[in-house]
A and B are shown apart, each in its own frame.
Chain A
Amino acid sequence: MQANDRLLTPLLRVSGLTRHYGARIGCADVGFELWPGEVLAVVGESGSGKSTLLKLLSTRLAADAGRIEYALLGRGLTELSRLSEAERRWLLRTDWGFVEQNPRDGLRMNVSAGANVGERLMATGARHYGEIRAAAQDWMARVELDPARIDEAPSRFSGGMQQRLQIARNLVTKPRLVLMDEPTAGLDVSVQARLLDLLRELVTSFGLAAVIVTHDLAVARLLAHRLLVMQGGRVVETGLTDQVLDDPQHPYTQLLVSSVLHL
């Protein structure tokens, strides 16, 4: 967390968020606040509702009940459902980012790395080829990709490089909130460490707020300030990351923590 810690409103406020799939609960009565620069990890096993929660937050899925409020620049906390489709899309491609688990879902695989990174800039009105390209190279360097490979297709990059490219593509508009769905899940362990370290660095240096869905408690320990533990669509425990992991209170959290080989 950085200098902006004395703000009076959170960046994101979620309350009573609920979504059913027929009779089955996807996500029930979830609420939390996220402040600028905070990283929140949502942990739980498959089916715990953490992916549903992320879909609801990103407005890819409509909630049955509950509110999602976001502190829009210049407008303060605004309920997302009140935004027009155009405003919502603008928000999603400027002030928000979404990092998919599989980089192939988050990248345009048929255009070059540079076009992938530059797309958000072009979508928000950048019309100077040279500047777009310079920004793309700058961001490739920041995510430790060789800027000389700017014209290569993402398919020629390794999985870890694709994931870093996806991150650059999201961060190029300097969003204040990034949602991540298991960003390290498909990667080799050595590649994971590098990516985690990079994410940590970016989060700190840009004061990013992030919601990271992960089943990997080590990822949560390394990246997140706070944890939300979900089971059966409900939040069963929440708190500081190290406190929840070192002194878990809920039986399910204790089970999760004790199931990890070493942490």
Chain B
Amino acid sequence: MNPDLMIETRGLSKTFVLHQQHGARLAVLDGVDLAVARGECVALVGPSGTGKSTLLRCLYGNYLASGGEVRVRGDAGWTVLGEAAAREVLLLRRDTIGYVSQFLHVIPRVPALDIVAAPLRDRGVADGEARERAAVLLRALSLPERLWRLPPATFSGGEQQRVNIARGLIAEHPILLLDEPTASLDAANAERVAQLIDAARQRGAAIVGIFHDVAIRDRVASRCFSLTRATETAP
């Protein structure tokens, strides 16, 4: 086994059973085997509806696997997400797996700087130091400093996205999951994000991402992983 392997799926399948739709079954992933090692940036590719986001959410434990398993390498060895206790998954998320979603879940009243600093504070880093590192990151993403003290609810899509990225990258997780991190950004800002992704790879992060923008994808990905449409089955 590759000693640098950080996250993998074995025969992962995901079928949604919609009880509100008379038990309709929606098969999205079927027998996916993905393995990502330290220093890799794997781009998930495939037409829309092939389950790129679903796969990413399964890797984060946000979706439960219907079949097969998702294995994550944490501080204390390998963990199978579906079998682990909720609190173990939470610890993995704190220490091992970072996730940048497409949209920021806005928390009312919390200033942007504190939203970015939160993952560090959760690990017990002192407030002051966490905010300093958040400031460094927000500056690198050229978010205007006058916005740092404001809650991001009123920010533009691009500004919110940069807050979201900073929050996802600040804790330097060994595994990073990126869902369209540059979707709402202009070219200059997308390039800044690409540089941060490069830096994460340089320090040895295993990265899995969905990049709609082909130029960005080619710029950051070390390889692509293709998904094809799973067959839909009747209930």
Residues of A within 8 A of B (CB): 1-3, 5, 35, 38, 193-194, 196-197, 200, 204, 221-222, 225-226, 238-240, 242-243, 246-247, 249-251, 254-255, 258
Contacts of A246 in B (CB 8 A): 57, 62-63
Of all chain B residues, the one with the shortest Cβ separation from A189 is B108
Q: Are B91 and A204 in contact (CB under 8 A)?
A: no
A-B contact pairs, 11 of them (CB 8 A): A2-B124, A5-B87, A204-B122, A240-B86, A243-B63, A246-B62, A246-B63, A247-B57, A247-B64, A251-B20, A254-B20
Contacts of A197 in B (CB 8 A): 107-110
- In the complex with contacts A1-B90, A242-B62, A243-B64, A194-B124 CB distance below 8 A: no
How many B residues have CB within 8 A of the partner chain? 24
- In the complex with contacts A194-B108, A197-B110, A1-B87 CB distance below 8 A: yes
Q: Which of B165-212 contact A (CB under 8 A)?
A: none
A154 CB to nearest B CB, Å? 24
Beta-carbon contacts of B81-121 to A below 8 Å, as 1s and 0s? Answer: 00000110111001000000000010111100000000001
Contacts of B136 in A (CB 8 A): none
Q: Are A240 and B90 in contact (CB under 8 A)?
A: yes
Residues of B within 8 A of A (CB): 16-20, 57, 61-64, 86-87, 89-91, 94, 105, 107-110, 121-122, 124
Of all chain B residues, the one with the shortest Cβ separation from A32 is B86
Q: Are A193 and B87 in contact (CB under 8 A)?
A: no
B230 CB to nearest A CB, Å? 16
Q: How far is the CA of A225 from the CA of B110 in the complex (A)?
A: 19
Of all chain A residues, the one with the shortest Cβ separation from B114 is A201
Q: Which of B16, B19, B89 contacts A255 (CB 8 A)?
A: B19
Contacts of A38 in B (CB 8 A): 87
Q: How far is the CA of A204 from the CA of B107 in the complex (A)?
A: 14
List the 6 closest A-B pairs by CB distance, nearest first: A251-B19, A193-B108, A247-B63, A3-B124, A197-B109, A226-B86
A183 CB to nearest B CB, Å? 15
Q: Are B107 and A222 in contact (CB under 8 A)?
A: yes
Of all chain A residues, the one with the shortest Cβ separation from B88 is A5
Of all chain A residues, the one with the shortest Cβ separation from B118 is A204
Q: Are B61 and A193 in contact (CB under 8 A)?
A: no
Q: Are B62 and A1 in contact (CB under 8 A)?
A: no
Q: How far is the CA of A249 from the CA of B18 in the complex (A)?
A: 9
A115 CB to nearest B CB, Å? 29
B57 CB to nearest A CB, Å? 7
Of all chain B residues, the one with the shortest Cβ separation from A245 is B62
A36 CB to nearest B CB, Å? 10
Known: A5-B91, A194-B109, A247-B57. 19 other contacts (CB 8 A): A1-B90, A1-B91, A1-B94, A3-B124, A204-B122, A222-B107, A225-B86, A226-B87, A238-B86, A239-B64, A243-B63, A247-B63, A251-B19, A251-B20, A254-B18, A254-B19, A255-B19, A255-B20, A258-B20
Of all chain A residues, the one with the shortest Cβ separation from B63 is A247
Q: Which of B64, B87, B105, B124 contacts A35 (CB 8 A)?
A: B87
Residue of B57, B61, B108 with highest tally of chain A CB at under 10 A: B108
Q: How far is the CA of A262 from the CA of B212 in the complex (A)?
A: 26
Contacts of B110 in A (CB 8 A): 197
